[in-house]
Structure 1
Amino acid sequence: MDVQPIAELRAVTKRYGLVTAARGLNLTIRQGEFLSFLGPSGCGKTTALRMLAGFEQATEGEVLIDGRVVNGVPPHLRPVNMVFQQYALFPHMNVARNVGYGLDQRRPRPPAAEIAQEVGRALQMVRLAGFGDRRIWEMSGGQQQRVALARAIVNRPKILLLDEPMAALDKKLRHDMQIELKSLQRELGITFVLVTHDQEEALSMSDRVCIMNQGQIAQIGTPEDLYDRPQSRYVADFVGRSNFIPSRVVGMAGDRVRARGPQGLAFTARTPGPLAAGTEIVLSLRPEDVRIAPLGAPDGHPMRITHRIFLGEHTEYHLSSVAIGHLVAVVPRGADAAAHDLEVGAEVAALWRDGGPLALTKD
């Protein structure tokens, strides 16, 4: 059974004078999913989020929430809540009053006992039970984020919007909060929409990711789809890391493309669709798909190690040759380390399986 949409953007464009911040956005957000907008600064992801929230109005197109067109509807009348990057907590209020602020503003105002009960339930959900009397300045960064989350979920919104809520946290705390946030989303069953420029954050938490580029949607898909089957060089370069080898199509071999790269090197690559002979392409090859072997290995490409970067669980090798140019290879710790010399300056062979590279049209 198809999951019903909770929100939609239909041909939505947003202009600020002569500047177009978002152009022709078409997106369906599913009930109960965790969706992330991912992209660099200025790509339009925050504009899209703010149009869902009602802080910005679409110049063209329609914004729908729960089947209703909400163009022109102010934020407080939409069934959404937002967690801001700086949390926007009230320093003169304790934790309980911060969390209950939205309930306190309702008209008619709920009874005090009901507000206290809902606040207690929200704090328990974010693992802050018993912290109601604390002052905001007495809370750590991670705890303040949980207070902001509790304040957002206490009103039981249909969509929770998150504008880079973990940007101010250190790496370890950010990782811990990513796990907690995803667990909370599953527990609540609320649709979460996150804006972030951190690809690890988006890939680790999201059911689907919407990649933005220059105000437009470049690709939407599961984290696995975006990583394994990017549809453009931009997506392949932005999601994860990739080596790019300029090539030209020679022909098709079943569902594979045969290509010639620099110095006439032959490649067999995966392709999203048929490509005509003569088409200029780039071959995308993930660093973890490049294997380093002793020089002279069958089907190996002679290259020289120019840099070796130890990163704990793996080592990153930068390889270079006249024929291929520059490649990055990632070798798990201990893998093949005893088989050959992997020091800077060493001559080695770079290998990958046929069909390992992905053929993408130049863009």
Structure 2
Amino acid sequence: MTQAKQTTNVFSPWLNRDNKPLIKFENITKKFGDFTAVENFNLEIYEKEFFALLGSSGGGKSTVLRMLAGFEQPTSGKIWLDGEEISNTPPNERPINMMFQSYALFPHLNVWDNIAFGLKRTKKRMASSDIKARVEEMLRLTQLEKFASRKPHQISGGQRQRVALARSLAREPRLLLLDEPLGALDKKLRQETQFELMDIQEKTGTTFVIVTHDQEEAMTMASRVAVMDNGKLLQVDTPNNVYEAPNSTYVANFIGDINIIEGEAKIDAEGLLSIHYSETAAPIQTENTNNQIHDGQSVSFAVRPEKIWIAKEQDVSLPNNVKGLIVDIAYLGNLSIYHIKLESGQVISAQMTNILRTGQQEFTWDDEVWLNWNDTAGIVLTR
């Protein structure tokens, strides 16, 4: 999983709770007839953040974005921008721009005129010299100087995406909304554009809010991520914390690859926690980091594939040794993913890099192996 660039954001205001949020959703509910698209939604977004709304299709994230843009009004609740309620403010009166997946460029205008279009239609008319300076600044920012005279059909998909971004930023909005902005690009170009967006956001200091169902996209670009499902906000945190410490089985399953083992919690007299998941296999030993877990409770133990080590012999020095049989192998070049069937019948995944080194063990189909991980590798979830 690609890690977000945590240390180079222009500003990390969520670390200081004394800062007032730029955007605040307060008890927002949005209904379409009998259907509730967003339910009791509360969220704060701070200035200069690159914030991601992440979830599967139909989860409510685009509805949240459209309410923020002013294209939809909440059924109940309030939306605040910089301390001013904007729940019923028309879109054209909000200091917010939105960049759509389709880019919506004017095909008859060249790149320069596409970027200048909004500047020529502001309430307070800009001087021609100011428009020229602003467009040239946007061309430099998005590295489009050589393409200023070309029409949209004469440039690549990635370049069209940058034109749309330049046009959105030209009017210096307080907030830029991006609705699946990279969905039309191929994988390689999408990955390159992610870093370009991060660099542009840092240079401008504009608050970005992106809607995406692509977890890698959110984890790469965002300073914080909000995971949504069925119109509800499940978890808001940094990419690292959402990945390493999901607060539910849904978030754990949605973010990256993970193994979920259902079992019963047992807490001994010294407070040590173990998960009993099979009558024949040894219980899983793990740190008790959840104070709400009690003895005999049904829980889920979650462990990432890259935190499991495969060995041909049991290593009794490690707290967890689970026996299994390799039933599938996926070779991905730099790493391989192994599917191992446990004695309990459950199949779990383990991931190992393919870096050749002295003494490295090789595994193949139908090998009987031992899976090892330490007692801090997994997390115990109660919902």
Q: Normalising by structure 1, what TM-score?
A: 0.96
C-alpha distance in 1 between matches for 2:157 and 2:270: 54
The answer to which of 7-16 and 289-298 deviates more is 289-298
What do residues 143-199 of structure 1 show as CA deviations (whole Å, max 9, x unaligned)? 000000000000000011000100011111111110010011111111100000010
Give 3-state SS (helix, strand or coil) of 1:49's partner.
helix
Conservation of the 8 A alpha-carbon contact between 1:37 and 1:193: yes
Which residue is equivalent to 1:227?
A: 243
The answer to which of 255-264 and 237-246 deviates more is 255-264
What do residues 294-328 of structure 1 show as CA deviations (whole Å, max 9, x unaligned)? 14443532211001111111100000022261110
1:93/1:141 Cα in 2 relative to 1: closer, same or farther (>3 Å)?
same
Which residue is equivalent to 1:325?
A: 346
The answer to which of 30-39 and 261-270 deviates more is 261-270
1:265 equivalenced with 2:286 (yes/no) = no
Deviation at 1:109, TM superposition (A): 2.2
C-alpha distance in 2 between matches for 1:188 and 1:344: 52
1:67/1:134 Cα in 2 relative to 1: closer, same or farther (>3 Å)?
same
Name the amino acid aligned to 2:209: V
Taking every aligned residue pair, what percent have the same amino acid on both sides? 38
Deviation at 1:231, TM superposition (A): 0.6
1:255/1:296 Cα in 2 relative to 1: closer, same or farther (>3 Å)?
closer
Which residue is equivalent to 1:136?
A: 152
The answer to which of 352-361 and 16-25 deviates more is 352-361
Conservation of the 8 A alpha-carbon contact between 1:44 and 1:214: yes
1:103/1:338 Cα in 2 relative to 1: closer, same or farther (>3 Å)?
same
Residues 247-266 of structure 1 correspond to what in structure 2 (within 5 A)? 247-251=263-267, 257-263=273-279, 265-266=282-283
Count of matched residue positions in the alignment of Structure 1 and Structure 2: 362
Which residue is equivalent to 1:241?
A: 257
Conservation of the 8 A alpha-carbon contact between 1:257 and 1:359: no
Deviation at 1:112, TM superposition (A): 2.0
1:108/1:357 Cα in 2 relative to 1: closer, same or farther (>3 Å)?
closer
1:21 equivalenced with 2:42 (yes/no) = no
Which residue is equivalent to 1:125?
A: 141
Which residue is equivalent to 2:370?
A: 349
Unaligned runs of 5+ residues in structure 2 are 1-15
Which residue is equivalent to 2:47?
A: 31
Which residue is equivalent to 1:97?
A: 113
Q: Equivalent of 1:12, from 25, 28, 36?
A: 28
What do residues 229-255 of structure 1 show as CA deviations (whole Å, max 9, x unaligned)? 111000111111110111111116878
C-alpha distance in 1 between matches for 2:233 and 2:189: 30
Conservation of the 8 A alpha-carbon contact between 1:37 and 1:45: yes
Conservation of the 8 A alpha-carbon contact between 1:268 and 1:357: no
Name the amino acid aligned to 1:301: V
Which residue is equivalent to 2:220?
A: 204
1:200/1:71 Cα in 2 relative to 1: closer, same or farther (>3 Å)?
same
C-alpha distance in 1 between matches for 2:25 and 2:40: 9
Give 3-state SS (helix, strand or coil) of 2:22's partner.
strand
Which residue is equivalent to 1:50?
A: 66
Unaligned runs of 5+ residues in structure 1 are none
C-alpha distance in 1 between matches for 2:334 and 2:225: 27
Q: Equivalent of 1:77, from 93, 97, 100?
A: 93
C-alpha distance in 1 between matches for 2:176 and 2:35: 28
Deviation at 1:335, TM superposition (A): 6.3
Which residue is equivalent to 2:194?
A: 178
Conservation of the 8 A alpha-carbon contact between 1:229 and 1:272: no
Q: Normalising by structure 2, what TM-score?
A: 0.91
Give 3-state SS (helix, strand or coil) of 2:149's partner.
coil
The answer to which of 17-26 and 331-340 deviates more is 331-340
C-alpha distance in 2 between matches for 1:215 and 1:36: 15
What do residues 26-54 of structure 1 show as CA deviations (whole Å, max 9, x unaligned)? 00000111100000000000011111111
Deviation at 1:71, TM superposition (A): 1.3
Which residue is equivalent to 1:304?
A: 325
